[in-house]
Structure 1
Amino acid sequence: MRYDLYLCLFLCAYTAECARILGVFPVLSISHQIIFQPIWKELSSRGHNVTVITPNPLNDVFSPNLTEIDVSSSAKRCVDNTDIIKKLDTTQSLFAKIMFSYHFLDYLITKELEQEEVSRLINSSETFDLILLQVIGIQPLVFGFGGKYRSPIIGISTLQVFLHTHDTLGNPTHALVTPDVMLGFEGDLTFANKVESLLFNIWYRMLYYWYALPSADKVARKYFGEDIPYLGDIERNTSLLLVNSNPIMHGVRPNVPNVIEINQIHIKKKKPLPEDIRKYLDSSPQGIVYFSLGSNVKSANLTESTRNVIIQAMAELPYKVIWKWETDYLPGKPDNVMIRKWLPQQDVLGHPHIKVFVTQGGMQSIEESITNGVPMVGLPFITDQPTNVRRFTELEMGLGLDYRTMNKEQLRDAIIEVAENKKYKDQVNKSKMILADQPMKGIEKAVWWIEYVLRHKGAKHLRSAAADMSFYEYFMIDVICFLFVCISLSIYATVKLCCLIVWLARKPRSKVKSN
């Protein structure tokens, strides 16, 4: 009887610690969703009741505490209608890219909010103890969920966040020390870079606080009700920010205590390869080139000219190639190339015969490559990919090419150079050691901090005073203006006094002379 009592008390205590958690991760991109998926799966396995709005559900029957609201139909329709990858790739102006991203995300999120299951959830009497939100570029509309449920908010980002998100948490954003990720600046800045970064800091904040935020607030009230607080105030209620970054690919930056860097969260234990792929890799001791442009930039969508350059380069390699090609047929496929619509990338990269990874430069792919000690050739297309490729090129972990201008000789020679020159492999292995030398795994760190916020019902004690300052207060614009006025008045008074003294000094002499 006593043991039954102890068991009952334990179960009651355990249940009391379990929370109701809502996760909102609206962007259709499996390469980003694989960062979020382990988090919501682990939370549900710990007994928390987790509801997730996502276009990439796990559909895991072994997670009874997990409820997934699948918005893939709405998300896919938005992506297909917009042709977002092509637009981001061909748009050259930074202003145009930012505005396109804002309007696309507004379109995407509103369509998902209108989906029946999501609308039913918003209009129900459901309550949640914590909200997990995907922090998405310049679009703050997802923070409407925080206003609806009045719960602590944790933001999660798979990329380095924009200026306004740093402002939300009072994180330092020095224009020269930590230029915004959109600028793509790395290392020592030129004078022109410094001017551009300063002007961007000012312009972006004007765009966000005077246009993007008020516009999103109007949309949020349509879906979440007129009684929610101002969207900017909800955003500033963020208790914690989890950012997917690592010490290899991202420069050192100062962070306030409630900005937590996580990485390798999607790295999994190796699994046996499918039999046909294993045989192909095992039979190629001379080396294999693994070619994949990720889940967003599909190889099958390349232009014919770019595809032909790649095919011709692959045909002239002294290695076999395994290529993630998303259709059944590759026109002109060389004999040394195997194509598959889908490949278990981490397991393929872990094979000892892989010599080079030709990648689009996505952060998750780069982490997987470093973890497996594979040097890279980068063909960047969109978002942070050019910056990532430039970074690993500077660190001599590989080489980067412009897919628009490269020819077959450049691609072929770059792959052979990276495969045969030992320095690239050595540099990747050095980075691998640094990346692996951490006190806990990324998923453990993320879940510990999420439960920390749950235990304390927020994390106001970690909040920087800078987070509650306005832009002009934080940068002391009012103080600088006051000092400028004081100094100007002092100079003016001094000049006037000197003029008076000179006038008084001259006046008696003039009288004597006239007498």
Structure 2
Amino acid sequence: MYKLVLIFTFVYLQYVECAKILGVFIIPSISHQCVFQPIWKELSLRGHEVTVLTPNPLKDPTLVNLTEIDLEFTYEILRKSNLQDSMTKEQSMLQIINNMYKLLGDIAEAELSHPPVQSLIKDKNKKFDVMLVEFLHPAMYALSARFNCPMIGITSLGTFIVGHDAVGNPSHPGLNPDLLLPFMGSLGFFERLYSMSFAIWYRLYYYYYIIPQQDKVARKYISENLPYLGDIERNVSMLFLNVNPIIHPIRPNVPAIVELGKMHIQVKKPLPPDLQKELDASKEGVIYFSLGSNVRSANMSEELREKVIGALSELPYKVFWKWEDDYLPNQPKNVITRKWFPQQDVLNHRNIKVFLTQGGLQSMEEAISSGVPLVGMPFFGDQPLNVMKMVHLGIAKGIDIQEFTKDELKEALIEVAENPKYRNKVKEISNLLSDVPMTGLEKAVWWTEYVIRHKGARHLRSPAVDMSIYQYLFLDVIAFVLAVTVLSSFILYKITVFSFKLIRKSKTGAKQKTS
């Protein structure tokens, strides 16, 4: 039997085509990277030669086919950007998007100019069969043109309007507003007006400002001999989105869109002994409180912090709070702080009653997978929309960080903790999310190897990608119909006027003849 296994393994390895894969995952945020890490690890384990640019390298010596270029230094750029203040809802959407692309641009330039990245770019012997790239910042897409390989875009959440445009995916502003807009369900008139106006403005801003600007960056750091960046973007073979039809709005997708979902959910692991002891002893229940990796609790304003502390101190439960500093001012007796918690393992404990969260997608998936209801306190980005989704699903209550009072937060936490309808509903949603034919990781790996086998996926390309906007929206047809209608109406008008003149003239002539 042992010999048979060896023979089978040898024969199998002979027929597995090992590819060279480049992964470019630029955002210094573990909530982004934890979605991509399982993919590059699994591709490496399958025998592919994987090179990854990432701020969160795995550093696993057992992965012999993996080369990681460490971009951890970009976390300092993120810290200095003060993300919590630069993308708050008090700012206009123009300011938020400007700030977002300014930050992404700073990160991209720092990474592209990094000596190990430059060495990779300038290595004329380096070849890749496919590139997986975080589909957020266009300058990085140019690496696929530099290495002349197919490109697969991937995101840790959904994608913006321009991402859907890149693969010709429909993005109706009334049915599928951009993920930056806190709209869902049936939109009212002014919401539809705002969504349509935003869709037009964002495209103009992106295609006529961001793309030309980043085309210059790509030529500076990658190569002067590149196609236009807008053309490179629209040459993407497929787009992997970390979404699912249960907690995200239903939308039509072209074949080039692959929905993943639950990419980072791990197998249950034992808790550290001190946390296990605290949780086991907390028969009254525990509230778990974390604002994720991009929002620091320690950066909250004093006013906001005091309202939160006031609410938590009056709860009849213990609270585990991810607090990033050594000292929490006025820390209540029932609050236990740590700079880091093994979040998935904490949420899996039977005594966790509620997850108080900023509403990040990964946190939402972890809570649902563990059957824990939520109270959402969104700050920026897709968080307000995510919290709206949780409330709509009946598994959460939402808190407005600008307007809530101490008592409102306290009442929301107690309501979700004590009312069984929230926990029952989240278990129902969890069962729906788990009932799938393939895991997100299995789909990501299969479709990546599909693109490698076929040297791209041009045959899945939607014709909408190659249509101009006036053709896609039938503006030329509408203009033609209007022109024909106006011209016909004008001719009919002239004929009518001329006819009336003839009739009047003939009547006048008849009268004169009679006289």
Query: TM-score with structure 2 length normalisation?
Result: 0.96
Task: Give, in angstroms, the shift of residue 458 of structure 1.
Answer: 0.9
Equivalent residue number for residue 453 of structure 1:
451
Equivalent residue number for residue 105 of structure 1:
104
Q: How many matched pairs?
A: 509
Is the CA contact 1:289–1:357 (under 8 Å) kept in the aligned structure 2? yes
Looking at structure 1, the residues matched to 158 and 12 of structure 2 have their Cα atoms a distance apart, in angstroms, of 41
Equivalent residue number for residue 25 of structure 1:
25
Equivalent residue number for residue 294 of structure 1:
292
C-alpha spacing 1:6/1:415, structure 2 compared with 1 (3 Å): closer
Root-mean-square deviation (Å)? 1.6
Structure 1 residues 84-112: Cα deviation after superposition (integer angstroms, max 9, x where no partner) = 23211265200111111112211110111
Equivalent residue number for residue 326 of structure 2:
328
Task: Give, in angstroms, the shift of residue 70 of structure 1.
Answer: 0.7
Q: Which amino acid aligns with 1:31?
A: S
Equivalent residue number for residue 417 of structure 1:
415
Looking at structure 1, the residues matched to 277 and 304 of structure 2 have their Cα atoms a distance apart, in angstroms, of 30
Q: Which amino acid aligns with 2:56?
A: N
**SS in structure 1 at match of 2:258:** strand
Looking at structure 2, the residues matched to 258 and 468 of structure 1 have their Cα atoms a distance apart, in angstroms, of 14
Task: Give, in angstroms, the shift of residue 63 of structure 1.
Answer: 0.8
Looking at structure 2, the residues matched to 253 and 11 of structure 1 have their Cα atoms a distance apart, in angstroms, of 40
Looking at structure 2, the residues matched to 108 and 206 of structure 1 have their Cα atoms a distance apart, in angstroms, of 23
Q: Give yes or no for the alignment of 1:253 onto 2:251.
A: yes
Long gaps (5+) in structure 1: none
Looking at structure 2, the residues matched to 70 and 301 of structure 1 have their Cα atoms a distance apart, in angstroms, of 27
Looking at structure 2, the residues matched to 269 and 33 of structure 1 have their Cα atoms a distance apart, in angstroms, of 18
Equivalent residue number for residue 51 of structure 1:
51
Equivalent residue number for residue 91 of structure 2:
92
Q: Which amino acid aligns with 1:353?
A: N
Is the CA contact 1:147–1:231 (under 8 Å) kept in the aligned structure 2? no
Is the CA contact 2:89–2:380 (under 8 Å) kept in the aligned structure 1? no
Is the CA contact 1:91–1:97 (under 8 Å) kept in the aligned structure 2? no
Q: Which amino acid aligns with 1:19?
A: A
Equivalent residue number for residue 15 of structure 2:
13
Q: Which amino acid aligns with 1:127?
A: K
Equivalent residue number for residue 132 of structure 1:
132
**Superposed, which structure 2 residues align to 1:311-460 within 5 Å?**
311-460=309-458
| Farther off after superposition, 90-99 or 249-258 | 90-99
Structure 1 residues 10-60: Cα deviation after superposition (integer angstroms, max 9, x where no partner) = 54433xx11100011111100111000000000000000111111111111
Task: Give, in angstroms, the shift of residue 342 of structure 1.
Answer: 0.8
Looking at structure 2, the residues matched to 235 and 408 of structure 1 have their Cα atoms a distance apart, in angstroms, of 47
Looking at structure 2, the residues matched to 278 and 162 of structure 1 have their Cα atoms a distance apart, in angstroms, of 41
**SS in structure 2 at match of 1:172:** coil
| Farther off after superposition, 283-292 or 75-84 | 75-84
Looking at structure 1, the residues matched to 338 and 99 of structure 2 have their Cα atoms a distance apart, in angstroms, of 33
C-alpha spacing 1:6/1:100, structure 2 compared with 1 (3 Å): closer
Task: Give, in angstroms, the shift of residue 445 of structure 1.
Answer: 1.3
Task: Give, in angstroms, the shift of residue 8 of structure 1.
Answer: 6.5
C-alpha spacing 1:191/1:90, structure 2 compared with 1 (3 Å): closer
Looking at structure 2, the residues matched to 336 and 101 of structure 1 have their Cα atoms a distance apart, in angstroms, of 38
**SS in structure 1 at match of 2:237:** strand
Long gaps (5+) in structure 2: none
Could you tell me the percent identity over the aligned residues?
49
Is the CA contact 2:255–2:460 (under 8 Å) kept in the aligned structure 1? yes
Structure 1 residues 97-147: Cα deviation after superposition (integer angstroms, max 9, x where no partner) = 1111112211110111111100111111211100001011xx311111111
Equivalent residue number for residue 233 of structure 2:
235
Q: Which amino acid aligns with 2:428?
A: K
Query: TM-score with structure 1 length normalisation?
Result: 0.96
Task: Give, in angstroms, the shift of residue 6 of structure 1.
Answer: 8.5
Looking at structure 2, the residues matched to 151 and 169 of structure 1 have their Cα atoms a distance apart, in angstroms, of 17
Task: Give, in angstroms, the shift of residue 5 of structure 1.
Answer: 9.6
Equivalent residue number for residue 208 of structure 1:
206
Equivalent residue number for residue 78 of structure 1:
77
**Superposed, which structure 2 residues align to 1:264-275 within 5 Å?**
264-275=262-273
**SS in structure 1 at match of 2:159:** coil
